Amino acid sequence: MKKIILICLVLTVLATLVRAQQKPQYTQYVFNNYLLNPAVTGIENYVDLKAGYRSQWTGLEGAPVTSYLTINAPIGDRFVQGDASAMPGGSDNNPMGRLYTQEYMASEPHHGIGFMVVSDKTGPITQTNLDATYAYHIGLSEKLNLALGVSAGVNHISLNTAEITLPDSQIDPAIANGNNSQWKPDLGAGIWAYSSNYYLGASVQQLLPQNLYFNEGGASANTSLVKSQTVPHYFFTAGLKLFLSDDVTLMPSVLVKVIQPVPTTFDANLKMGFRDIFWVGGSYRKDDSFGALAGININSSINVGYSYDMTTSALKTVSNGTHELVIGILLNNRYKVRCPTHSF
């Protein structure tokens, strides 16, 4: 009887992991909105390469660990060769200042292409997403752009049974001999409206729900504990740039996540930036954590962002907080800008 209870407990945990929020979360989503919305593809006038690592709830065995690599670039000579809102190298017109905002013009119509690899490991379950993205950017008015984007690829989910330990050292055949390595199609879409001092976006990931079975019986199994289904993730985000002076700005942003059947939640961030050199900020995730953020644009080729989250949920008794590091590389940066001009 004890063995049956333990097996059911393990399978319940696995089912809960897959049925709840299945995509990783990011404190520094403002540093790389491309992770959440394919419409951001090609938004900047350079090739944007980013690598990130997030260790969530450190100190808790089996806690989520996420790593990713993303790259996206614009296509279109009129944008790449002469973006009206990009500032030439050496100009005093810095992208964080009022003058830049006053002179801002909507970008030329152009395309964007990109690719991302995201690996997320929680306990014995590892998910790896490989997605290509495409977006088209158009000007709706002199100062407003609209981008539509799609992402398509595959999601690989695997169950490492070696990490499941029972008192008698014998794993249940339902998962030991099951389909523990699966590939599923992945599809997403998004929309992004942006100007020099605000943006609005909406996107959906895992648009194609997929059945996942960790046993050989699949849908014919007698228990629902060994089957689950991916669910769509909806993201709604907005950001605003407010000027305290010509060189100092406040940048509040919010991200709302709608994922059935878990409750709707949100992240709220506030960044303070100084020209195009560095920024600091704070974040709040509903019923989960408070965070501190900082970043520096070292030069026109590299920038770095770091955040630390202090857990406020029931996990705070076993968690030492969450660390997240992002490194950005700006390739083919013809205007030598030190910080993004179309996103912030």
In a domain, 157, yes or no: yes
Domain that residue 290 falls in: 25-212+228-331
AA letter at 181: S
AA letter at 298: I
CATH number for the domain that contains residue 127: 2.40.160.40
C-alpha separations of 138 from 111, 247, 262 in Å: 9, 29, 35
In a domain, 340, yes or no: no
Query: Looking at the 3D structure of the chain, how many domains does it have?
Result: 1
In a domain, 337, yes or no: no
Beta-sheet strands, E only, within the chain? 47-55, 65-75, 110-122, 125-139, 145-159, 181-194, 198-205, 211-213, 227-229, 233-240, 242-243, 248-258, 265-274, 278-285, 289-297, 302-311, 322-331
In a domain, 6, yes or no: no
Classify each residue of 285-323 as buried b or exposed e, where b means 16 or more C-beta atoms within 10 Å of its C-beta.
beebbebebebebeebeebebbbbbebeeeeeeebebbe
Nearest to 97 by CA among 240, 247, 239, 197: 247
Nearest to 174 by CA among 222, 123, 230: 222
- Evaluate if pTM is beyond 0.75: yes
In a domain, 223, yes or no: no
In a domain, 50, yes or no: yes
Q: What's the pLDDT score for residue 90?
A: 42
Q: What is the pLDDT along the chain (344 residues), one digit of tens a residue?
A: 434 433 443 444 444 444 455 788 899 988 899 999 999 999 998 999 999 999 988 877 778 899 999 999 999 887 877 664 544 444 455 666 676 777 777 888 999 999 999 999 888 888 999 999 999 999 999 889 999 999 999 999 888 776 666 666 555 555 555 567 888 999 999 999 999 889 999 999 999 888 776 655 554 544 444 456 788 999 999 999 999 988 899 999 999 999 988 889 999 999 999 987 899 999 999 888 899 999 999 998 999 999 999 888 877 677 788 999 999 999 988 888 888 877 77
Q: What's the pLDDT score for residue 1?
A: 40
**Bridge partner residues of 136 (DSSP):** 111, 148
Q: What's the pLDDT score for residue 308?
A: 94
In a domain, 319, yes or no: yes
In a domain, 52, yes or no: yes
Nearest to 72 by CA among 108, 32, 107, 106: 32
